């Protein structure tokens, strides 16, 4: 009697359990090996896709700041003495990129004015624009407040609007973006952190020597100060709060000085004061001095002529008297009887 091959294999495995265990273990290891390979092929592209998505989302989080909305704007700090034929620039590296001032009024910083002119172009050392922010208390570690930017084209347009040529110095207005609170007695730093084109310097700005502005300084030297002006404004909320405080003080019967509510426009026609005034030299002009002497001699000649005529008349009258005296003496000596 012949059995089918499958039945024969089953009977052999049943009779020999060791062979059955070996075949079962081999099959199990084979299937486990195949199962481990499959997830590696499927899961490998997933982390790459997640990394690409993260890189695209980062630039979308940039926040653009707007100019502050204020009701009142007024001058706070200024330094308007400068050394002629002396200019300086801003860099973006630490210790060469700031100037400081100390606020005396409470409000929001709206703009900073510098006195200068555009740098030469083309240049291997000067960029086309600079960007920065305000720091409170320290130029390197203080809290960042707002932002600002200034380009070479901005400077040229502002200089020409003042009726000056491109190479003449004038007031340059830098408007602040974002609300930058100003506290009385607090020192702030105007900081540059970027210059376009990979260049190290920007601008040509005037400065004074001999520490003309003691509550602040310029990075170049402790006794040097930029020519500058700072303006602060008051937001609608600040104005409303001040009005409430004034009303309460008046109710108590106390006197209060109310600040002006009109906007203070910067006077761009008033130039800073030179620390090296020009020496005026006066030259003698003999021709102009001699002219009045000549004009005065003309009437003296006429006087002399009149005197000369007068003298002739005097002489003639004297001669007449002499002849009369002689004739009278003759008549007395030879008197006719």
Whether 87 and 221 map to the same domain: the answer is yes
Tokens of 143: 């809290």
Model pTM score:
0.62
Longest dimension (CA), the chain: 236
- Where in the sequence is the domain holding 222, given as residue range(s)? 72-236+261-274
Whether 115 and 36 map to the same domain: the answer is no
Whether 48 and 175 map to the same domain: the answer is no
Q: Is residue 326 a part of any domain in this protein?
A: no
Q: Is residue 191 a part of any domain in this protein?
A: yes
| pLDDT, tens digit, 9 for 90 and up, residues 290-337 | 445 444 444 444 444 444 444 445 455 555 555 555 555 556 555 555
| pLDDT, tens digit, 9 for 90 and up, residues 2-39 | 545 556 666 655 666 666 667 666 766 666 655 555 44
Contacts of 68 (CB under 8 A, 6+ apart): 108, 110, 176, 178, 179, 180, 233, 235
| pLDDT, tens digit, 9 for 90 and up, residues 216-260 | 999 988 899 999 999 999 888 878 887 777 787 777 777 656 554
d(CA 73, CA 265): 8
Tokens of 133: 């922010």
Instruction: Write b or e for each residue in 138-169: b if 16 or more Cβ atoms lie within 10 A of its Cβ, otherwise e.
Output: ebeeeeebbbbebbbebbeebbeeeeeeeeeb
Whether 31 and 90 map to the same domain: the answer is no
Q: What is the pLDDT of residue 245?
A: 79
Q: Which residue has the higher pLDDT, 62 or 229?
A: 229
d(CA 66, CA 180): 12
Instruction: Give the number of domains in the chain.
Output: 2
| pLDDT, tens digit, 9 for 90 and up, residues 71-118 | 889 999 999 999 988 899 999 998 899 999 999 999 999 999 999 999
Whether 123 and 266 map to the same domain: the answer is yes
Whether 9 and 39 map to the same domain: the answer is yes
Whether 26 and 127 map to the same domain: the answer is no
Q: Is residue 119 a part of any domain in this protein?
A: yes
Q: Is residue 62 a part of any domain in this protein?
A: no
DSSP, collapsed to helix, strand or coil, labels residue 326 as helix
What is the residue-averaged pLDDT of the chain?
77
Helices 17-43 and 5-15: crossing angle in degrees, nearest 10, is 110
Contacts of 177 (CB under 8 A, 6+ apart): 65, 66, 67, 146, 147, 148
**Domain harbouring 115, CATH code:** 2.60.120
């Amino acid at each position: 009697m012949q059995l089918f091959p499958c039945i024969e294999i089953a009977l052999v495995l049943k009779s020999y359990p060791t062979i059955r265990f070996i075949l079962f273990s081999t099959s199990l290891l084979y299937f486990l090996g195949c199962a481990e390979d499959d997830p590696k092929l499927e899961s490998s592209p997933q982390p790459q896709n997640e990394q690409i998505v993260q890189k695209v989302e980062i630039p979308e989080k940039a926040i653009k700041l707007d100019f502050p909305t204020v009701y009142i704007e007024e001058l706070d700090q200024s330094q308007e003495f400068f050394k002629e034929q002396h200019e300086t620039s801003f860099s973006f590296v630490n210790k060469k990129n700031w100037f400081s001032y100390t606020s005396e009024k409470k409000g929001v910083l709206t703009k900073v004015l510098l006195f200068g002119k555009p740098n030469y172009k083309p240049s291997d050392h000067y960029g086309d624009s600079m960007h920065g922010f305000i720091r409170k208390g320290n130029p390197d570690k203080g809290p960042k407040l707002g932002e600002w930017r200034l380009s070479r084209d901005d400077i040229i347009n502002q200089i020409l609007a003042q009726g000056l040529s491109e190479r003449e110095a004038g007031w340059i207005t830098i408007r602040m973006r974002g609300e930058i609170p100003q506290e009385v007695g607090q020192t702030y730093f105007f900081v540059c952190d970027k210059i376009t084109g990979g260049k190290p310097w920007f601008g040509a700005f005037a400065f004074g020597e001999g520490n003309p502005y003691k509550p602040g300084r310029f990075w170049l030297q402790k006794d040097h100060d930029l020519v500058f002006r700072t303006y602060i404004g008051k937001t609608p909320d600040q104005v409303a709060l001040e009005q409430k405080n004034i009303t309460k003080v008046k109710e108590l019967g106390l006197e209060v000085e109310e600040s002006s509510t009109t906007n203070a426009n910067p006077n761009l026609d008033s130039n800073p004061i030179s620390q090296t005034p020009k020496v005026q030299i006066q030259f003698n002009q003999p021709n102009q001095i001699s002219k009045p002497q000549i004009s005065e001699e003309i009437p003296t000649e006429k006087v002399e002529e009149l005197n000369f005529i007068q003298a002739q008349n005097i002489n003639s009258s004297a001669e007449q008297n002499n002849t009369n005296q002689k004739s009278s003496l003759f008549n007395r000596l030879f008197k006719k009887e």
